[in-house]
Amino acid sequence: MHEGEIFLTMDKKTIIEETEKYYLPVFGRYPMVMELGQGCRVWDDEGNEYVDAFAGIAVNSLGYNHPVLVKAISEQAAKLMHCSNLYYTEIQAKALRMVAEATGMDRIFFANCGAEGNEGAMKLARKYGVSKAPTKYKIISAEESFHGRTFDTLAATGHDYYHVGYGPLSPGHVLVPYGDIKALEAQMDDDVCAVLLEPVQGEGGVHVPPDEYLQQVRALCDKHDALLIFDEVQTGVARTGKWFAYMHSGVKPDVLTFAKGIGGGFPVAGFAVPERLAHVFKPGDHGGTFGGNPLACAAVYATLTTIKSEGLVDKVAEKGEYFKNELRKLQEKYPDKVTDVRGCGLMLGMEVAGEGKPIVESCLANNVIVNCTAGNVIRIVPPLIISKEEIDIVVAALDKALAAC
């Protein structure tokens, strides 16, 4: 490599070829090169503009290039990007307080991705359980769930697709149907250390359980002294019209995990617990080199303070209701093609009778980005700042796609 070569620009063909040459082939990518983002819009290298209703998989909570977030990260990068957790930093203290207030919890651990947060939560639950009895290590999670691709989160994830080729999986994990309290009750005993659930299933197809289900799960956990862990990696940070999705039901977990939107696009995650669980881990039991670094904490603090100052929690609830009603109009218009509309806030799913992929591709051809999960559920998780006018653009693209399929 010649001096300065790193700064040379590449054409689209070279970008794709170089990426395919060097990156492990684990992603199914579209032949598009994204170059710029602003608000809820992104532009590719050919100047095509898209309304993004996917937000980098529910990550870009403040949209693209939000001035408060950009300023916070830039200023922190110029001061101190990384510092070992052997020392204190002001920005971490500020971020910790904001996360504690938003989650309704007392103690926080910062990690780097959702799977890492879930791993830490399960690790804490295992230590909690084994401290009570050596056989108290069983973790129950739900079929069709998704908790990550690391080895233990893989065992907790309820999709056979992700398990193929990785057996034997980590022991001590049990799967039950989501929303089926009798199935859960049949597996509950005093050897269960935790129940791990998404308060709204994301990858599984945007499934919202009835409040009474979560209340019954809470009661079973209390009966057997098992920790209730809510994976709020996708549902958290105002996504559903509350700070965290558990607040809809009033069922408070013992451990709450977070990631995705909490950094507004910057990689940061973690888990939160009440004070009574603060000392399950002793110094040295858990940690990480990069978790809670100053740059990540600057992103967290800027994101959460902006959500609060701009009143986005209530705005998401309002816009989410509008969006859902517009999708229901499509269901009425295409009753043979749209079988269900569900979700809450700006985490919505439109289930279709056929494959969802052609609808995603049609929307993309019409400059709108949506996603398909579970094979036939169009998942919509836009930036929290999306406008009603942009919602209308997304709905119009879906209308056009449904008419053509």
Would you please indicate which residues are annotated as catalytic (active-site) residues? 146, 231, 260
Question: With helix as H, strand as E and coil as C, how does 215-260 read?
Answer: HHHHHHHHHCCCEEEEECCCCCCCCCCCCCCHHHHCCCCCEEEECH
**Cis peptide, bond prior to residue 335, ω within 30 of zero:** no
Integer Cα distance of 128 and 277 in angstroms: 8
- What three-state secondary structure class fits 347? strand
Nearest to 200 by CA among 142, 150, 261, 154: 142
Please check whether residue 308 is in contact with residue 201, taking contact to mean a CB–CB distance below 8 angstroms.
Answer: no
Nearest to 300 by CA among 91, 120, 113, 121: 91
User: Looking at the DSSP assignment, which residues form a beta bridge with residue 378?
Assistant: 350, 372
Amino acid at 204: G
Which value, in Å, is the radius of gyration of the alpha carbons in the chain? 21
Alpha helices, H only, 80-146: 90-103, 114-132
| Distance, C-alpha 297 to centroid of its chain | 18
